[in-house]
Structure 1
């Protein structure tokens, strides 16, 4: 299965030649629900993790004030509900009474105080092999990037709730067979559906906040620059950072756009997008996802646009930036 982004409506460099030297290659990840292995690039899949390396943990700095749930219950509920989705040409399955009761129990929320406090295991967010991420700069000697997080409000900011691991795969001899799981999940909409990836390199141009004010002002007169000509929507690696949509961007020298550990410059690493396309950026819809497109078993038509079931805020984008000088430093995360 492949994913092919249609050509852009026009070549923006013909109208703005100064953009030609600012083009970057981004890798649209095109996640599709599936069963990735540790040897695959994935979103929400298992990681190629050394058996003798401690699994990262993080203790929330706040007490959840909303009901929480269990990671296993999230996966069980999704499995049962997937069977009820209507496939092309026919109705979905009807759950048995026992399955409906299981679904009811798996859908139950729990008060936070019913679980022990303390550090919780992070969960896999993404795993990217260098072969699947053209345009992404891997530190010398590495060929694998792993991103883990604590599914909570603290995925924003600069805490250890989001962590990176850069690896040389040939050095991983004994692989961890079963990853630890958190005792509870504070934000279930931050738990991705396990997805295989269909990476595709695309050309991008800078968002407004990365341009000088004069050029940005002239480009703003082109209503479709932001939505169709500059930055690809959805999940992607590398490329330009996402546009700021609901807030003003920080100033270029702001601490918010500096490495939280050393204060050095940061750059776009991973974009955790909302939908893969949709108004006002329908033109980014892959050719293979048109009407009557093939879907994974149990995948609804909505899942084609929102395959990971991850929601950032009210449908925004989470931009993960990493330190340019020391990529292993904690990443900066901004909801944009």
Structure 2
């Protein structure tokens, strides 16, 4: 089934005609639980990986012998999903709760050194034929495969992620690796994706406000402040009227006014291309470390497909479904429910990628 983004709450180019010059496109991936195969673009699905090619491993020094088993994590999610489907009010039974406690146990793998090769987890594979905003890879490669280490504690800070992105020509893969290696334990459940098929949709997008010209950004800020004041004034008047009928009857769940950042410019969720959001930090220069060229957003990996606020990006086909059922399809968690933006060099896609967590 296709997924269709609803029209934006307001015509942002009608409000700010200058934005037309900055309009771009991004492809929302709309991952949803399914059974992808190696010939499909997917999240958490089987990869088109050559049988004679070594699987990516992490050899950076960090503890890797204690954590949860990936099979237990998948089973835990299945039990919880079944319980909530059966009875949204009561949830798991006593027997299911006992099983969940057992599945949540952490395990220790004996004899594992901090630099032993640790199989990385295949997070996603993306075929260029499926995704209009996925750029060509080096030397005509048409398939991007994304891996990460299932533990933190990498880099100078000792808390960073470790990613490995591989481009390949899919037509050159003859024999596919039947049983990829898998880590015995992982440091966080958020590193273990559920298999999802993709429902790509290309939509319009606009830059993060802080990267627009200062005068345009200031006008957007002033417009948002004025809109918020109008809403607050309306709520105050409504509250006074309702108070006459029933004390405290004002609507506490009234939707927030549309915002440029969250409703009109950059979609949430997994997507390819477009513009990066810098909602947690100030915009940081993302220049290629090999040639200094300004890098383009390649892929966004998001913890949620939309937030629990207005939900204006929720697909039309899913507007009647409860948020908890479809906003977290991949079960991936980046940081504290944030997003991972991965950048690529437009001058030479073989140059090392960079990334930022927001």
TM range (shorter): 0.7 to 0.9
Q: Tell me how far 1:101 sits from its aligned partner.
A: 6.2
Correspondence for 1:10: 10
> SS at 1:13's partner residue?
helix
**In 1: Cα distance, 2:274 partner to 2:155 partner:** 20
Alignment map for 1:80-229 (pairs within 5 Å):
80-87=79-86, 103-110=100-107, 115-117=112-114, 118-139=116-137, 141-153=140-152, 161-223=162-224, 224-229=259-264
Structure 2 unaligned residues grouped into runs of 5+: 225-258
Correspondence for 1:296: none
Q: Given that residues 8 and 228 in structure 1 are in contact (C-alpha distance below 8 angstroms), is that contact kept between their aligned partners in structure 2?
A: yes
Q: Tell me how far 1:204 sits from its aligned partner.
A: 0.2
Range with bigger deviation, 103-112 or 221-230 = 103-112
**In 2: Cα distance, 1:155 partner to 1:63 partner:** 10
Q: Given that residues 264 and 325 in structure 1 are in contact (C-alpha distance below 8 angstroms), is that contact kept between their aligned partners in structure 2?
A: yes
**In 1: Cα distance, 2:123 partner to 2:223 partner:** 35
Q: Given that residues 273 and 318 in structure 1 are in contact (C-alpha distance below 8 angstroms), is that contact kept between their aligned partners in structure 2?
A: yes
Q: Tell me how far 1:53 sits from its aligned partner.
A: 1.1
Q: Given that residues 120 and 183 in structure 1 are in contact (C-alpha distance below 8 angstroms), is that contact kept between their aligned partners in structure 2?
A: no
**Alpha carbons of 1:84 and 1:129: their partners in 2 closer, same or farther (altered >3 Å)?**
same
Alignment map for 1:37-56 (pairs within 5 Å):
37-56=37-56
- Does the alignment pair 1:248 with 2:282? yes
**Alpha carbons of 1:173 and 1:199: their partners in 2 closer, same or farther (altered >3 Å)?**
same
**In 1: Cα distance, 2:101 partner to 2:91 partner:** 19
Alignment map for 1:317-328 (pairs within 5 Å):
317-328=339-350
**Rg bigger for which structure?**
2
Q: Tell me how far 1:102 sits from its aligned partner.
A: 5.5
Range with bigger deviation, 145-154 or 124-133 = 145-154
**Alpha carbons of 1:314 and 1:160: their partners in 2 closer, same or farther (altered >3 Å)?**
closer
Q: Given that residues 62 and 153 in structure 2 are in contact (C-alpha distance below 8 angstroms), is that contact kept between their aligned partners in structure 1?
A: no
